[in-house]
């Protein structure tokens, strides 16, 4: 029952709101009707004044709409001519911009290809550097063992120096390629891709047999001869 009472109260409130809206709508309708009558009377008065002015100026009544239409044809023709000129200018400008876009797209493709080539060269040099470092590490370990076997310390150190120079040259080439990549990433300038640089071959590994050019360490052969 309480819920039904609340619902009845809500319906009663909605009914009051609708009554207010209906009353406002009726008042607005009455106001619009009154304004419409006033506008009609004012329009008739203005038409009467207009007719009087036409009789004073032309001596007769003139079709004002036809007069405006005749004078409007010249303006319309002029506007059409201006429209054709603007369309021609726009077509010319559009063609010019299309050529620029195509040129920019071609330049972008070239730069992308150059950047890809630089990246490939960088990867190639990095792989060579890694290979050199591995060989250098292995060579150094082998030479530590061989220094006490074949007595060619001076020749081994020269090989180490050569390997270190190769690694340093490869490092410089990698740094140069990284600078080229940064330049391509930060600017739109034309940068030629570097050629694939082939590093010099590594010197051959030492023969484990004793060297005949150098003097042996420790005097092992002398002791054998003495024995």
- pLDDT computed for residue 82 by the predictor: 83
- Map tokens 């690694």 to a residue: 167
- pLDDT computed for residue 68 by the predictor: 62
pTM across the whole model:
0.31
Token pair, residue 144, equals 């530590």
What confidence tier does 16 reach under pLDDT thresholds 50, 70, 90? confident
- Per residue in 146-166, pLDDT (tens digit) is 655 555 555 666 777 777 788
CA-based nearest residue to 108, from 197, 188, 210:
188
Q: What is the Cα–Cα distance from 197 to 225, expressed in whole angstroms?
A: 51
- Per residue in 170-186, pLDDT (tens digit) is 778 878 777 777 776 66
Q: How many CA atoms lie within 13 A of 155 on its CB side?
A: 17
Q: At residue 163, what are phi and psi to the nearest 5 degrees?
A: -65, -40
């Amino acid at each position: 029952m309480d819920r039904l009472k609340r619902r009845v109260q809500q319906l009663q409130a909605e009914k009051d709101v609708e009554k207010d809206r209906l009353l406002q709508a009726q008042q607005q309708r009455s106001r619009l009707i009154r304004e419409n009558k006033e506008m009609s009377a004012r329009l008739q008065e203005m038409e009467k004044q207009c007719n009087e002015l036409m009789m004073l100026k032309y001596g007769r009544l003139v079709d004002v709409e036809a007069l405006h239409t005749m004078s409007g044809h010249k303006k319309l023709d002029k506007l059409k001519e201006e429209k054709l000129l603007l369309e021609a200018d726009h077509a010319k400008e559009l063609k010019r911009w299309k050529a620029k876009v195509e040129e920019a797209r071609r330049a972008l493709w070239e730069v992308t290809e150059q950047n890809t080539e630089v990246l490939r060269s960088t990867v190639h040099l990095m792989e060579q550097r890694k290979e050199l470092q591995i060989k250098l590490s292995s060579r150094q370990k082998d030479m530590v063992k061989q220094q006490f076997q074949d007595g060619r310390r001076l020749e081994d150190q020269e090989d180490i120096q050569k390997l270190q120079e190769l690694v340093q040259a490869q490092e410089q080439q990698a740094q140069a390629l990284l600078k080229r990549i940064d330049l391509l990433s930060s600017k739109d300038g034309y940068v030629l891709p570097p050629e694939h640089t082939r590093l010099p071959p590594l010197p051959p590994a030492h023969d484990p047999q004793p060297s005949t050019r150098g003097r042996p360490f420790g005097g092992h052969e002398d002791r054998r001869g003495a024995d």
